């Protein structure tokens, strides 16, 4: 068994004992991948991994997924397969019997488990108590080890090379969709090891919506163009945003750019072990509020980054979680002026022993194209 995964399972078992969770039930997704190395998607065919705190995991899955599981599992696990014809009921029954599930406390993923899996568990594990396993799982994942950080650095390099290629293609007349496609091709050319997702390309007034849908709008002189590109290396994300100016832009757009740039620096500068997540948010927000644009900064300052593009720690007012070395998250303040455009500058940071390292090295000065 791979040592990294052996350690992860030990830490899970310890956390389950402390939290009095007899069995953790995990569906396909980032937690399953983190604990077993298995990258799978949910589908109408149920896959469910059960982790008792005192024995190796049990994996219930469709027969056709067994070869993939055997090839990619980094941990030992007993497989309980079912065919399309028989369906998962009998496999559930066997799992429930072998784990003696009746009356146990089962940790489930409130953010991911569907009623489909929950109803099966309720049926075959009568008298069980279900508790939210997410906080326990996120405590395991929130500190990245050296291997995870290495993957994130690689993702960052690929992402930055992609941005450099795409920047050269931004000009009046090109549509947002064409730029998005250029971005995906450039990401593949930069040797990404995963098929890149579609970036957000938001030009002109579309930039006023932080999660604008990339459209067939053509870039015009005087536009700000926001590009939010995210991709993975070995499962780990880089998530970067840069905002570019096309030719001469309006004075106020220029002003909000410099405010966001300052907010981004202010937030990254205070990141160090011992401060609270919400203090990073406050550092960025104060700059924007002081400049009179507080009401146009309509989202939190950042989010954790790792196997998922959004995961703890959330850099948001009210989160008094203390930052520790090995945490990775985004710093992405923005100002969005309805009908006119928006600016966001997003970097990825790693909390180090004595401060913080910004994984992103792309320039933050306004580039005029």
- Interface with Zn ion, residue 279, by CB under 5 A: no
Nearer to Zn ion, 88 or 199 (CB): 199
CB closer to Zn ion out of 16 and 241:
241
In the complex, least distance from residue 332 CB atom to Zn ion, rounded to whole angstroms:
5
Burial (0-12, 13-18, 19+ Cβ within 10 Å), 228: buried
Q: Is 239 one of the binding residues for Zn ion (CB under 5 A)? A: yes
Structure tokens belonging to residue 53: 């705190």
In the complex, least distance from residue 117 CB atom to Zn ion, rounded to whole angstroms: 29
Smallest gap from residue 201 Cβ to Zn ion (A): 12
C-alpha distances out from residue 141 to 24, 29, 72, Å: 15, 13, 20
Residue 168 three-state SS: coil
Site for Zn ion in 302-341 (CB under 5 A): 330
In the complex with Zn ion, which residue's Cβ is closer, 241 or 360? 241
Phi, psi (deg, nearest 5) at residue 56: -60, 155
How far, in Å, are 105, 185, 310 from residue 237 at the CA level? 33, 18, 10
Query: Residue 355 carries which DSSP code?
Result: S
Binding residues with Zn ion: total (CB under 5 A) = 5
C-alpha to C-alpha distance for 56 and 147, rounded to whole angstroms? 24
Nearer to Zn ion, 151 or 345 (CB): 345
Residues 186-215 that bind Zn ion (CB under 5 A): none
Which residues 346-365 are close enough to bind Zn ion by CB under 5 A? 346
At closest approach, how far in Å is the CB of 220 from Zn ion?
Answer: 24
Residues 6+ apart with CB under 8 A from 31: 109, 112, 137, 141
Residue 228 as a binder of Zn ion (CB under 5 A): the answer is yes
Interacting span for Zn ion (CB under 5 A) from 95-103, 158-166, 204-212, 238-246: 238-246
Which CB atom, from 57 or from 333, has the smaller least distance to Zn ion?
Answer: 333
- The tokens describing 296, both together, are 């146009």
Q: Hunting for tokens 């008094």 — which residue is that? A: 320
Q: Decide: helix, strand or coil at residue 243.
A: strand
Q: Which is nearer to Zn ion, 22 or 346 (CB)?
A: 346
Number of alpha carbons in the 13 Å side-chain half-sphere of residue 210: 15
- Least distance in angstroms from the C-beta of 333 to Zn ion: 11
Nearer to Zn ion, 90 or 298 (CB): 298
Q: Which of residues 79-138 bind Zn ion (CB under 5 A)?
A: none
**Binding residues vs Zn ion (CB under 5 A):** 228, 239, 241, 330, 346
């Amino acid at each position: 068994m791979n040592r990294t995964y052996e350690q992860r399972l030990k830490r899970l078992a310890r956390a389950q004992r402390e939290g009095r969770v007899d069995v953790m039930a995990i569906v396909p997704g980032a937690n399953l991948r983190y604990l077993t190395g298995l990258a799978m998607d949910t589908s109408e065919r149920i896959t469910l991994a059960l982790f008792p705190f005192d024995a190796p995991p049990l994996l219930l899955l469709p027969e056709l997924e067994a070869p993939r599981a055997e090839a990619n599992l980094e941990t030992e696990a007993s497989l309980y397969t079912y065919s399309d014809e028989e369906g998962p009921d009998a496999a559930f029954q066997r799992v429930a019997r072998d784990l003696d599930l009746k009356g146990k406390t089962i940790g489930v993923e409130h953010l991911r488990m569907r009623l489909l899996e929950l109803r099966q568990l309720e049926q075959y594990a009568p008298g069980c108590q279900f508790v939210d396993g997410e906080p326990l799982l996120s405590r395991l994942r929130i500190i990245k080890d050296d291997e995870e950080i290495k993957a994130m650095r690689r993702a960052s390099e690929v992402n930055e090379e992609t941005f450099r290629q795409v920047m050269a293609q931004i000009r009046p007349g090109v549509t947002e969709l064409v730029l998005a496609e250029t971005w995906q091709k450039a990401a593949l050319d930069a040797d990404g090891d995963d098929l890149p997702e579609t970036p957000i390309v938001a030009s002109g007034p579309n930039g006023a919506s932080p999660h604008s849908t990339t459209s067939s709008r053509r870039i015009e002189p005087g536009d700000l163009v926001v590009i939010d590109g995210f991709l993975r290396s070995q499962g780990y994300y880089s998530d970067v945003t840069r905002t570019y100016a096309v030719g001469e832009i309006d004075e106020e757009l220029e002003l909000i750019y410099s405010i966001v740039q300052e907010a981004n620096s202010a937030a990254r500068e205070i990141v160090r072990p011992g401060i609270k997540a919400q203090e990073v948010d406050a550092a960025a927000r104060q700059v924007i509020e002081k400049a009179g644009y507080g009401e146009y900064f309509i989202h939190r300052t950042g989010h954790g980054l790792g196997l998922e593009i959004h995961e703890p720690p959330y850099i948001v007012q009210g989160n008094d979680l203390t930052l520790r070395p090995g945490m990775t998250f985004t710093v992405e303040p923005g100002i969005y002026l309805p009908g006119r455009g928006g600016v966001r500058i997003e970097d990825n940071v790693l909390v180090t022993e004595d401060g913080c390292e910004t994984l992103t090295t792309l320039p933050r000065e306004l580039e005029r194209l």
